Amino acid sequence: MNRRVLVFGTFDLLHEGHRYFLSRARQFGDTLIAVVARDDFVRQRKGRPPVDAMKKRMEILRDSNLADEVYPADREIGSYHILKKTSPDVICLGYDQRELKSNLEEWLEIHHKPLEIHVLEPYNEHIYKTTLLRSQQNS
């Protein structure tokens, strides 16, 4: 049985924290699917644009071989069309994706879609956090 694991992320400046997150998520199944946040969402959410545009972030992620499938996030936030498209068995979230977790749980309950959700622990978040790496680049 091929268990499909889905993750969401910005994956900007792909770093060791991302690599750890993706390798931990992979342990929950056979196929790892990464959904990459759109630039406008990153700008809205984080108050600044990503360093690399979504297409570039997707390309870097594909080239890394850390994920088996890479998709852009839904245009409409909260629609979760990506779940229908990818048919995951498990969703793994980062430790800092609390709002996404509650939105997903609510959506899954409303749509009667029971899916396993796991929140993964961070990897040296005081070192490997995109905002920190970004500020180091700019100094």
The pTM of this model reads 0.87
Question: In whole angstroms, what is the distance from residue 101 CA to residue 16 CA?
Answer: 23
Question: In whole angstroms, what is the distance from residue 77 CA to residue 138 CA?
Answer: 30
Q: What is the pLDDT of residue 125?
A: 60
Q: What is the pLDDT of residue 123?
A: 79
CATH code given to domain 4-138? 3.40.50.620
100 with 8: CB under 8 angstroms? yes
Q: What is the pLDDT of residue 46?
A: 86
Q: What is the pLDDT of residue 45?
A: 87
Per-residue pLDDT of the chain (139 residues; tens, 9 = 90+): 799 999 999 999 999 999 999 999 999 999 999 999 999 999 998 899 999 999 999 999 999 999 999 999 999 989 999 999 999 999 999 998 999 999 999 999 999 888 999 999 987 666 555 555 555 555 5
Q: What is the pLDDT of residue 138?
A: 54
Q: For residue 106, how many C-alpha atoms fall within 13 Å in the half-sphere facing its CB?
A: 8
